[in-house]
Structure 1
């Protein structure tokens, strides 16, 4: 990408936001921030217990991510956030105008398998259905691209960089 945007790597749990985000940041030579680190402890406790977050739970989390992204405005950065609903993305854009979204998409069975294989993450596989039920894909008027998550992390990252570069042209 020729201009330093802040890229929000979005998608349901298990799509690889935490894996692809740092690879993308390295490729773009910008810092990476892990969206899960912005969650208040109460949100993590809820998700760990298998309880989906409500919109009111997400607001302070989204605002914290937007604040980080706003601070990187003109400098560039990559941050992960599920950003499943249009209203969540609108909130991120309100706090950090100019963010660009990278929507990681994929087959539900592949994502479920990847979730089951990961160790030490607070998000249980049981919440995947609620994630897909909540997901509102990017709309045509939203700055962003969708990239399939099949393949290796390096392949996915390369597709993401290419798609983001096409977005600018």
Structure 2
């Protein structure tokens, strides 16, 4: 039991140390690369090539919807504008699901993408009239994509 605790502690130290470098390898063997992005601040390129910003704060997601493809997408809201202002866009629920698969758990996710524990619900660009879809990233890294009122102030991360 003591050996498992020590091993876990050492893995955490190694993960924190490598997160300060230019490359971070998750416990699942997925490689993230730190990329220069003046507007995103510290940005990380995921194994699929998508670039993710840090936590941007909390905003509402009430806005204009488009549904050309049968899926409603929020085009213009406070949250989408935050991302547009830094050269990105609000991620879809599928993009959050892909990102989550690269990590073992929320603790490891927060090494690269720290956010206040009280802000564990992140807006996505997916929605239906009056409601927007969010990704829940804590206490379990499982972005199931539930719906809530688009006027709520939830956390925002952006993707490029």
The alignment's TM-score, normalised by the length of structure 1, stands at 0.24
The alignment's TM-score, normalised by the length of structure 2, stands at 0.25
Structure with greater helix percent: 1
Greater C-alpha Rg: 2
Structure with greater strand percent: 2
